[in-house]
Each structure stands twice: as structure tokens, then as C-alpha cells.
Chains A and B, each alone.
Chain A
């Protein structure tokens, strides 16, 4: 395998030395471009108390193109679909090479605190979130309990 670009080495070292509270990202033993990620559900959100697993992959042309990130743990959220794909601008056309693994994961954690049902990826979830927010939040809490706790 080709040597890892120095930027990736540096980011990985910094993630280990100064971890972000509530977020862990550990490179895979056999592929240093693939990270095992755990994000804790933010306080005062329906995801509080949950531990959400994600996978993050740095493509060959990173940082000129965005990392590929996906939720592995099932989550009830209007901007995350049933395959765990995330609809977030900085992962698509608003990507900038000055963003890092750290800032991407912080943005995803912030997305859990601030769902945006007007710009959905999971249409049925977004629909309920708009017409009956309290029921949607109940569902999100129930999914958090069922899929993101005690695993």
C-alpha cells in the first residue's frame, strides 16, 4: 500500500492526542484511511444517551474531496436515510480542503441537535417531523433506546 500522505498522518495523531469530547475516531488496523467512529448523542436532543457508530473513509484525493461518512447505527433523523447516508452540505458541494475529520464529525454531531426537516433525505421521517414534531421526537428517542444503547 502507498505511504499515507502527511496530512492524514497528522490528523490521525491529533485525533489521538487531543480527542474531541463525545467523539471517537480510530483508524482501522489494516486500512489507515478507514475510521471507526462513535458519536454520542448530544444533550437535550432525542438522541441523548445514545452511542452512534459511523464509518468514515478518506478517498484517494482527500483533502481535495470530502470524506465519505455513513451512520452504521440505525437513527431516526430527517437528514439521515435508512442506509445511514447523511445529507449535509459540507460533505457535498460545500466541502473545503480546510475542513478536517474533526470538523466534519463535529458538524454531524451538531446536525443531531438541529434536524432540518425542510431539507430532508429521509422523506417519511421529515414529513412526520413537520406535521407532528412531538411524535417524531418520541420515535427518535425510541430508536435511540432500541439501537444506540447497550451495544
Chain B
């Protein structure tokens, strides 16, 4: 097989998005929960989870992602309760995972709300590079590739939910 002459790292440029965040080289949007790998490259936490689940290598330089990185990520910003937007009526979106309820990250939360307000019966969302369908009739989120992988979702007030963390980050 011919080897491409392109060099991922030399192609690297630190682009800032509109809200001042570093642009993630995977989703091409401002980093949500930016995390830094040992090689120094920064991505959204969930974008790292996407490629770490696939081949365990940094998307920029192909250096290995440490085994425990997803459990103990090197986050560049501290997680705070204000990270996720609460809608006018005091509600936000949650999903059921590892023995309890988790908040979606800011971007997913807003995308789901947008579809919900538009009264769509369901809509597709990419999480960790995997395509999921959010079904508002049954209040489930399932993997499009593997529909048996499904999780309950709910739109609720934070006071009604015991929350484990945000998008897999405690």
C-alpha cells in the first residue's frame, strides 16, 4: 500500500473557535471539556473517548492513549455545575449509565433540546464518534449500529436527579 506523504502534526494549527475555545481537530468545534493527552495534543474529552475506543492512538500523532486516561483524564478546565446550560424552565437532559443518571455535555444537551423543541419524534446525534438515535417517544437513546445498546433519557430539573457526573466525567 502506498504511504501518504501528509504529516498530521505539521498540518496542525491552533485554531480558536468563536467562543474562544481551542478548536478540536476531530469535531472541528470549540473543545467541550478539553483534555490533554501525554503527547500534548488537546481534544474534547468525548472525541478522545471516540478514537481511544477505536484504536487507542492519538488522532494527531498516533502516540498511544494511556489505558486509564478515560477514567482519569487530564482536563484543562475544572468541571463545574454551571458547565451545562439549564433551559428557561429549569430543565436539562440526562441519560442513564453506570448505576445512575449522568448529564449530557453542553453541546449534546443543546442539540437534544433543539430537536425536542422542534417536536421531532427522534433525531440522530454523534457521541464519541458513534451515531445514536434519540427517541423522544420512548425516551431512549440507542446506538444506530447496535440498537440493543440503549439507555434511558430524561428531561428534568437538577434537584430531581442524583447526578453521577457529566458525560462520563465524575
Task: Return the chain A residue nearest B27 by Cβ.
Answer: A7
Contact of A88 among B1, B51, B131, B145 (CB under 8 A): B1
Any A CB within 8 A of the CB of B3: yes
Contact, CB under 8 Å: B2 / A87: yes
Query: Is the CB of B77 closer than 8 A to any CB of chain A?
Result: no
Given contacts A2-B123, A90-B6, contact A119 B130 (CB under 8 A): no
Q: Across the interface, which residues of B come within 8 angstroms of A10, CB to CB?
A: 28-29
4 A-B pairs with the lowest CB-CB distances in the bound complex, closest first: A64-B129, A98-B59, A107-B4, A98-B25
Interface residues on A, range: 20 to 34
Least Cβ–Cβ distance between B130 and chain A, in angstroms: 7
CB distance from A130 to the nearest CB of B (A): 14
| B73: Cβ under 8 A from any A Cβ | no
Taking the complex as formed, is A131 at the interface, i.e. its CB lies under 8 A from any CB of chain B?
no
A21 part of interface (Cβ distance < 8 Å)? no
Add 4 more A-B contacts to A87-B1, A107-B5, A110-B4 (CB < 8 A): A63-B129, A64-B54, A96-B57, A97-B26
Q: Does B50 reach chain A (CB closer than 8 Å)? A: yes
Contact pattern, A 111-135, Cβ under 8 Å of B = 1, otherwise 0: 1001110010000000000000000
Known pairs A6-B29, A7-B29, A63-B26; A89 contacts B3 (CB<8 A): yes
Write the nearest CB–CB distance from A134 to chain B, whole angstroms.
21
Judge whether A64 and B50 touch: CB under 8 Å: yes
Judge whether B126 is part of the interface by a CB distance below 8 angstroms: yes
